[in-house]
């Protein structure tokens, strides 16, 4: 039988061996995840030439809605109509920037100050309230990704946003987002929203109507011109201060 002191020395030796081994396996796992994730990004990487001009393609969010509608027969039919930015009210473009991304023209896709402010607020509230996403990030999420809060999804969003900003103009990014953003259950794009809520084209939106559509964006199903919720009214008042 080994002595007590021998057992202690053996135990210390095993402990010393355990942690380097654990670190090695953790490192290998991280390398494997990195390789797999890089392969995933290469697989979904867009051909930016298809997005530089011309018709707007269906976003992932729109495809997901069509799929989900089969499971939710009570949901309304998809409403989606494309509209070039040249035929969208300037009030709408301004309201969107005021409401969602005041620094849109000065950042390169990611607003670090807004991101930090959102993180600090979320920590103070001990829950996820704001994401601090720019219009470019939201366009990427809508077009290519999903609404998942998975950390990897957020990472993919950041990488794709950098790609979008390097390949598309700011005007085109605005045009893409205005045509794929959700403004209510099954209502995608500002043209469909303008026709649904007021029976007008996006080119004829008034200042107040544009403000209301911009106020819809954080939670379009619950807070929109039809529900006219307290949160929605507060957003409308906040955006109106800048007009």
CB 56 within 8 A of CB 82: yes
pLDDT at 11: 59
Q: Are residues 3 and 77 in the same domain?
A: no
Q: Are residues 135 and 181 in the same domain?
A: yes
pLDDT at 108: 86
Q: Are residues 192 and 114 in the same domain?
A: yes
Q: Is residue 115 pLDDT above 70, yes or no?
A: no
Q: Is residue 27 pLDDT above 80, yes or no?
A: no
Retrieve residue 49's tokens: 């030439």
Q: Are residues 110 and 196 in the same domain?
A: yes
pLDDT at 124: 47
Domain interval for residue 39: 1-44
Rg (CA), the chain: 24
- Among left, alpha and beta (phi > 0; psi -120 to 50; other), residue 228 is left
Distances (CA, A) of 79 to 62, 92, 223, 225: 10, 19, 18, 16
Q: Are residues 16 and 118 in the same domain?
A: no
The CATH number given to whatever domain includes residue 208 is 1.10.3810.10
Q: What is the pLDDT of residues 168-187, one digit of tens each?
A: 999 999 999 999 999 999 99
**Mean pLDDT over the full length of the chain:** 86
Domain count, the chain: 2
Q: Are residues 67 and 100 in the same domain?
A: yes
- Cα separation, 238 vs 109, whole angstroms: 24
Distances (CA, A) of 15 to 22, 24, 25: 11, 15, 16
Q: Are residues 114 and 183 in the same domain?
A: yes
Evaluate if pTM is beyond 0.75: yes
Mean pLDDT calculated for residue range 4-26: 60
Q: pLDDT higher for 172 or 148? A: 172
Q: Are residues 58 and 120 in the same domain?
A: yes
Q: Are residues 73 and 6 in the same domain?
A: no
Q: Are residues 106 and 87 in the same domain?
A: yes
């Amino acid at each position: 039988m080994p002595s007590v002191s021998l057992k202690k020395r053996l135990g210390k030796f095993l402990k010393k061996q355990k942690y380097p081994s654990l670190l090695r396996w953790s490192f290998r796992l991280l390398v494997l995840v990195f390789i797999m994730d890089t392969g995933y990004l290469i697989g979904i990487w867009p051909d930016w030439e298809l997005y530089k001009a011309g018709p707007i393609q269906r976003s992932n969010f729109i495809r997901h809605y069509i799929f989900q509608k089969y499971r939710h027969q009570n949901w309304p039919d998809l409403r989606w109509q494309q509209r070039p930015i040249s035929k969208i009210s300037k009030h709408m473009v301004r309201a969107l920037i005021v409401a969602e991304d005041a620094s849109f023209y000065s950042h390169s896709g990611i607003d670090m100050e807004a991101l930090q402010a959102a993180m600090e607020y979320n920590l103070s509230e001990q829950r996820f309230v704001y994401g601090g996403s720019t219009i470019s990030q939201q366009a990427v999420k809508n077009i290519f990704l999903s609404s998942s809060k998975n950390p990897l999804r957020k990472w993919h969003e950041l990488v794709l946003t950098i790609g979008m900003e390097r390949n598309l103009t700011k005007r085109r990014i605005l045009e893409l987002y205005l045509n794929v953003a959700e403004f209510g259950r099954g209502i995608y794009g500002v043209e469909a929203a303008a026709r649904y809520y007021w029976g007008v084209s996006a080119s004829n939106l008034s200042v107040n109507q544009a403000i209301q559509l911009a106020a819809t964006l954080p939670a379009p199903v619950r807070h929109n011109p039809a529900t006219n919720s307290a949160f929605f009214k507060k957003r409308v008042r906040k955006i109106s201060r800048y007009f």
